[in-house]
Structure 1
Amino acid sequence: MARNLNSLIVRAMIALTLLAFAVVYFGLTAYFFFIYEWLYPEFTEDDFLRTGDVVTLGLLLGIGISTVSLLGWILARRIVEPLKSVAGAARRVAEGDFSARASLRRGNFGEAGDLVDDFNQMAERLQRAEAELQYSNSAIAHELRTPLTILRGRLQGLLDGAFAPSAELYGRLIEHVDDLSAIVEELRTLALSNAGQLDLQSSRLDLAVEAEAALTSLEDQLGEAGIATSLDLRSAVTSGDRSRLRQAFVALLENCCRYAPHSTVNVETGVAGQQVFFRCTDTGPGLSDEARLRAFERFWRADESRGRSGGGSGLGLPIVKAIAQAHGGDAVILASDGPGLAVEIRLPVERLGTRIDRRP
C-alpha cells in the first residue's frame, strides 16, 4: 500500500534517532555497569580513559553511524529510483520516442506512484497526439487532393476545348471550390479550438429556438434524404455563441442525412440538472462500440473506403465536440441498446453575468 512521503521521512528520522539513542545508551550502560566492574574494580573518578575505553566508544560510534548510513541509503534509494525512472523516460520522449514509459517498484511511497502515473499518462497522450498529427497530415492531403484534381482536370478540359463551357459545368466547379472552402474553414475552427483561441460572441439564447432554426435551414436536405423528424423542444436557456451552436446543430443533422437516410430523427432540447442539452437521435444503422470510441477523431469515418461524396470530410463530429468544449460543455455519444445513433451536446445552464471568451 502506498505511503505518504512526508510521514515516511518523519517516521524514518524518528526511528533513526531512537536507534542511535538506544545504541549509545545501552552500549554505555553495559560498558560502565558490567565491563568496568569486572575489569577495573579499583577505578576511581580521577582515572583517565584507558585505551579500552577509547576503543569501545569508537566501536559504539562506528556501529551507530553505520546503521544510520545504511538506513539512510535505503530511504534515499527509494526516493531517487522513481525520479531516475521518470528522468530517463522523459529524456527518451524528448528525443522523439513517445513510447517511453516510467516504471515503479513495489513498496514506493504514494507520491512516487502518482508521479509515475501522471508522467505515463502524459506520454500516452503525446503518443496519441503524434499519431493523430501524422494521420491528420495524410488525411488533409487526401481531402484536398480530390477536389483540386477535379478542378484542374475540368479547367484543363476547358482550356483544351474538351469541355464546352456551360452554366452547369461552371456550377460544378463552384461546388468543388465551396468544398475546398468548407474544409479550410473546418480545419481553421479545429485549430483555433485546440489553441484555445476560438472567439465566442456570447449572448443569452434558447437551445429550443436555435434547434428549430437549424431544422428549418435543412428542411430541403432532410426531405431529399427521406428523413422524418420528430421534435421535443423544451426551453433550455444558456449563454453561448449563436452562430457556433447553430453550426454544431447543423453538423449533427447533416450527419443524419449522410449516414441515416430514410430514417426518423428525433431532436430534443431541455434542462438536466446544471446543464442544458441538445440531443439528436436517429434510427439508422448506428455505430459499433469501437466506432463510438473513435467517432470524434479527425477525418475518421465509420467506413474508411468512403470518400467525401459519401461520407463527408470526417470533421463534423470533431467540430461539434470542439464547439461544445469551447462553451464549457461537451459532446457525447449516448449508449443505446437498439439501432441508431444518439449524440448529445451538453452546455452549462445560463449564469447571470457570464461572458464566454476562450481566448488566452
Structure 2
Amino acid sequence: MARNLNSRIVRAMIALTLLAFAVVYFGLTAYFFFIYEWLYPNSVDDDFLRTGDVVTLGLLLGIGISTASLLGWVLARRIVDPLKSVAGAARRVAEGDFSARASLRRSNFGEASDLVDDFNQMAERLQRAEAELRYSNSAIAHELRTPLTILRGRLQGLLDGAFIPSAELYGRLIEHVDDLSGIVEELRTLALSNAGQLDLQYSRLDLAVEAGAALTALEDQFGTAGIDTTLSLNSAVTGADRPRLRQAFVAILENCCRYASQSTVHVETGVAGEHVFFRCTDTGPGLADESRARAFERFWRADDSRGRSGGGSGLGLPIVKAIAQAHGGDALILPSREVGLAVEIRLPRREPPVSICE
C-alpha cells in the first residue's frame, strides 16, 4: 500500500512536469513556425532550434523531472508515514494490545495530525472500556456472591433443620433477594444506557418538586443517619422522565446516608442559563482529588475516605450519570476547597416532546 501510494504520487508529479513542458515546447514551436512567420513574413532563420536550444530544453526537462520526483517523494513520505503509523497501531489493537498508539512527526500536515489524534483517542477509549469491562465482570461476581452465599446457607440450614422457620428469617431472605434484584436492575439500567436504549417518558416537571419528594421518601433514613438538611429549592421546570429523574435524586441522597452520616446536607435546585440543575452538597469526609475522577466508575468505592460499612453496590453514581446523559445533560462532582462532596445533575431546559423519546 505504501509503495503503491509513493509511486503514484511520484508518477503524478512527473506527469504534471511533462505536461507543462509539452505545453511550453509545442506552444513555442507553433508560435515560431506559424504565428511568427505570419507576423514577420520576411524574417529568415535557417537554424530555428540550435544545439544550445536543444541542450537547454533537455536540461530544463531533466531539472523539472528531478525536482518533481524529489517533491513527490517528500510529499509521499509525509502522507504515508502517519498512515503506516496508524496501520501498525491498529494492527496491534486488533491483536488485543489496547495500549498501542500512533506517532506523528512535527512536520506532518494538519489532516495527518487529526487522523493520528482521533485514532489515539479511540484507542484510549477502547483501553478504558476494556479495563472497565474486566473490572466490572470481577466486581459483578463479587457483588452477587455474597447475597447468594447467604441465601444458600440459610436455605440449606432450613432444609437441614438447623434454623427454625420464622417470619423474621423469611424476612431476611426476602431482603437478600431484594438486594440481588436491585443489583440486577441497576446493571440493566447501565447496560441500556450504554447501548443508547434507555427509554425515557418525557413530561413537564419541576426539579424542586421532585427533589422535595425524594427528600420526603428518605426522611427516616436521614434521621437514622443523623443528617440535618438545608434546602434552597428554586423552581426549575423542564421536560424529563419523572421516575428516572427521581431515581437519580434518591441515589445521590442515599449516598449521603451511607457515607456522610452525622453531617449537614444542602439540597439546591435552580436555573443556570440554558440548564436546570439539582445540587446536593454534604459536609462529610468527601473525596480526595484523585478519587473524584473515579466517582462515576462502576462498582468503585472510595474505601479510604468514605468507607464500605454502609453497604451499597457501587452503582449509584454511575446510574446517576447514565440517567443525566440519557436526558442530554450530565452529572459531575463539583470542585470544592471545603470538606464534603458536591454532586450536581445538570439538564437542558426544554419543553417535553409530544411523543416518547429515546
Which residue of the partner structure matches residue 108 of structure 2?
A: 108
- Equivalent residue letter for 2:320: V
Q: CA deviation at 1:311?
A: 3.4
- Equivalent residue letter for 1:276: V
Contact 2:204 2:237 in 1 (8 A): yes
Please give the secondary structure, in 2, of the residue aligned with 1:281.
Answer: strand
Which residue of the partner structure matches residue 32 of structure 1?
A: none
Q: Distance in 1 between matches of 2:302 and 2:217?
A: 26
Sort the Cα spacing of 1:355 and 1:323 in 2 relative to 1 into closer, same or farther, 3 A: farther
Which residue of the partner structure matches residue 277 of structure 1?
A: 277
Which residue of the partner structure matches residue 126 of structure 1?
A: 126
- Equivalent residue letter for 1:329: G
Contact 2:203 2:352 in 1 (8 A): no
What percentage of residue pairs aligned between the two structures are identical? 86
Normalised by the length of structure 2, the TM-score is 0.85
Q: Distance in 2 between matches of 1:355 and 1:330?
A: 23
Contact 1:239 1:354 in 2 (8 A): no
Please give the secondary structure, in 2, of the residue aligned with 1:216.
Answer: helix
Matches within 5 A, 1:63-212: 63-212=63-212
Q: Distance in 2 between matches of 1:279 and 1:307?
A: 22
Q: CA deviation at 1:60?
A: 3.4
Please give the secondary structure, in 2, of the residue aligned with 1:311.
Answer: coil
Sort the Cα spacing of 1:308 and 1:188 in 2 relative to 1 into closer, same or farther, 3 A: farther
Q: Distance in 2 between matches of 1:143 and 1:306?
A: 18
Give deviations 1:261-301, integer Å, cap 9, x for gaps: 11111111111111111111111110000111100000000
Q: Which runs of 5+ in 2 are unaligned?
A: 1-8, 29-43
Q: Distance in 2 between matches of 1:304 and 1:187?
A: 25
Please give the secondary structure, in 2, of the residue aligned with 1:127.
Answer: helix
Please give the secondary structure, in 2, of the residue aligned with 1:70.
Answer: helix
Q: Distance in 2 between matches of 1:109 and 1:58?
A: 34
Contact 2:231 2:268 in 1 (8 A): yes
Give deviations 1:148-194, integer Å, cap 9, x for gaps: 00000010011111111111111110000000000000000000000
Give deviations 1:234-253, integer Å, cap 9, x for gaps: 11000000000000000001
Which residue of the partner structure matches residue 345 of structure 1?
A: 345
Q: Distance in 1 between matches of 2:225 and 2:51?
A: 106
Q: CA deviation at 1:118?
A: 1.0
- Equivalent residue letter for 2:335: A
Q: Which runs of 5+ in 1 are unaligned?
A: 1-8, 29-43
Number of aligned residue pairs: 324
Q: Does 1:234 align with 2:234?
A: yes
Q: Distance in 1 between matches of 2:50 and 2:325?
A: 82
Contact 1:225 1:257 in 2 (8 A): yes
- Equivalent residue letter for 2:69: S
Q: CA deviation at 1:50?
A: 7.1
